[in-house]
Amino acid sequence: MKSSSGPLSGIKVVEFAGIGPAPFAAMILSGLGAEVTRIDKPRSFEASVGADLFTSNAMNRDRRSIALDLKSAAALDIVKMLISKADGVIEGFRPGVMERLGLGPEVIREINPSSTFVRMTGWGQTGSLATVAGHDLNFIGVSGLLNAIGTKESPVVPLNLVGDFGGGGTMAAIGMLAGILRARISGEGSVVDAAIVDGVALMGTMFEGLIAEGLWSMERSANLLDGGAPFYSIYFCGDGRAVAVAALEPKFFAEMASRLGLADHPAFSDQYSRETWPEMRTLLTETFFQKSRAHFEALFANADACVSPVNTFSEAKLSPYMTERQVFEEVQGVSHPRPAPRFDNFSPSVSPPPFPGEQRDEILGELGFSALEISKLEESGVFG
C-alpha cells in the first residue's frame, strides 16, 4: 500500500530564493517529502504578457513561500525563527552575501547548532575565483569535462545539465541529506560548501581512471563513449529524425547488426577493431538514412540492441514507455517530471509553484504570530 508520507517527511528546510542549482536541490528534497519553506523577494514576477514567471517555473514547485524584505530587522527575526526550527538551510548567493545579511554560518550555528547549512555556488566559498561571476559553461570548462564533450572540431554546449544540475544541485541535495543524517546521529551541524566545480570534477572520476590506464584519448570523438565508436553514436533517419545507438557489448552489437542486415558484412566482424570503424560508420549512416525513424522504432521494439529514438521534449511526453512509467505529470498546464527516485511506499504528486508570499499567514501562524501582529508587520513594510 502506498503511503502519503514521503521518505523525507518531517524534514524541514529553509530555502533562500535563487536561480538554477539551489532551487533544483530544494525541488529534489521537497519532491521526496521534505517541507521546504522558500524565502522570496517581496515583488511580483509578472511578465508583460501576463504570465507569472515564478509559478510557471517548474523547479519552484512543491514549496511554501513567504516574501520578506531582508533589509528589515523584523524580517530577519522571522527568518531566524524559521531557521531555529529547520533541519537545513540552502542558499545560492555569491560568497559573502549571507554574511552581509547577518545570516552567516556562525549566526546560523548559534541559532540552530544542529542545522545543515548548504551553500551552493559555482566556484566554491574559497579560492581566488570564489567571488568572480560565472555560469554553468564556465564551471564545466574549468573542470575539464566541457573539452571532452562535442565533435572533433569543437566542444558543444551540453545544456546546463552537467554543471548546474548534475555537479551542482544534485550534489547539494546529497550534501543536505548527509549533513542532516550526521546531525541526527551526532547532534552536530555542518556547513556544506557545494561548489559546481567540485561536483563536476567528481562526476569525471571514471574518465580520470581511463586516462590513467591509457584508455582515453584527449581528442574528442575518438573514444568509446564520446561518439568515436560507430556503435555508440547518433544517426539520422530518412525523415530527418534521429536514433541513438549504444550497442557497446558484443551481444547487443550482434543483435543490432543482425536486425539491420549487416551481421555478415566484413566491417562488422570485429566490433572493437578501430580499423573497421570508418566503414562501419558509413554503413550505419547509409542504412539508417534509408528508412524513417518510425521504421527503426518498430524494428528494434523490445530488442536487446540498444537502439532508441532521440525524442524531443514533446515527443518524450507522448512516448509509450514514458507514459507507461508515468514519468510526467501536468499541473496547471505545465508539464512536470515527477519526483525521483521512486519508493515502494510513497506515491508523490506535484503541487504547483506558489506565488511569492502565498503561504505567508500560514507560515507566520505556525511561528506563533497572531492576525493582528501579521497586520502590523504588513503595515511596517516587512513583506514589501
CATH number (domain holding residue 177): 3.40.50.10540
Mean pLDDT across the stretch 311-322? 96
Residues 247 and 301 in one domain: yes
Residue 56: per-residue pLDDT: 58
Whether pLDDT at 44 is above 60 = no
Residues 132 and 196 in one domain: yes
Residue 53: per-residue pLDDT: 53
Residue 51: per-residue pLDDT: 46
pLDDT, tens only, 5-15: 899 999 999 99
Tell me the C-alpha distance between 261 and 106, whole Å: 67
Write the CATH number for 310. Answer: 3.30.1540.10
Residues 111 and 134 in one domain: yes
Whether pLDDT at 47 is above 80 = no
Residues 71 and 189 in one domain: yes
Tell me the C-alpha distance between 25 and 290, whole Å: 44
Of the residues 77, 135, 239, 304, only one is catalytic, namely: 135
Residues 174 and 255 in one domain: no
Whether pLDDT at 54 is above 80 = no
Annotated active-site residue 264? The verdict is no
Of the residues 87, 136, 164, 226, only one is catalytic, namely: 164
Please count the structural domains in the chain: 2
Annotated active-site residue 336? The verdict is no
Return the exposure string of 210-240: e unless at least 16 CB atoms fall within 10 Å of the residue's CB, then b: beeeeebeeebbebeebbbbbbbbebebeee
What is the average pLDDT value for the chain, to the nearest integer? 94
β-strands 307-309, 242-246 pairing:
antiparallel
- Does residue 29 sit within a domain? yes
Residues 267 and 367 in one domain: no
Whether pLDDT at 4 is above 80 = no
Residues 112 and 260 in one domain: no
pLDDT, tens only, 99-114: 999 999 999 999 999 9
Residues 32 and 114 in one domain: yes
Residues 320 and 336 in one domain: no
pLDDT, tens only, 90-102: 999 999 999 999 9
What range does the domain containing 265 cover? 232-324
Residues 174 and 277 in one domain: no
Q: Could you tell me which of 130, 118, 151, 124 has the C-alpha nearest to residue 28?
A: 118
285, 307, 324 - which closes a domain: 324
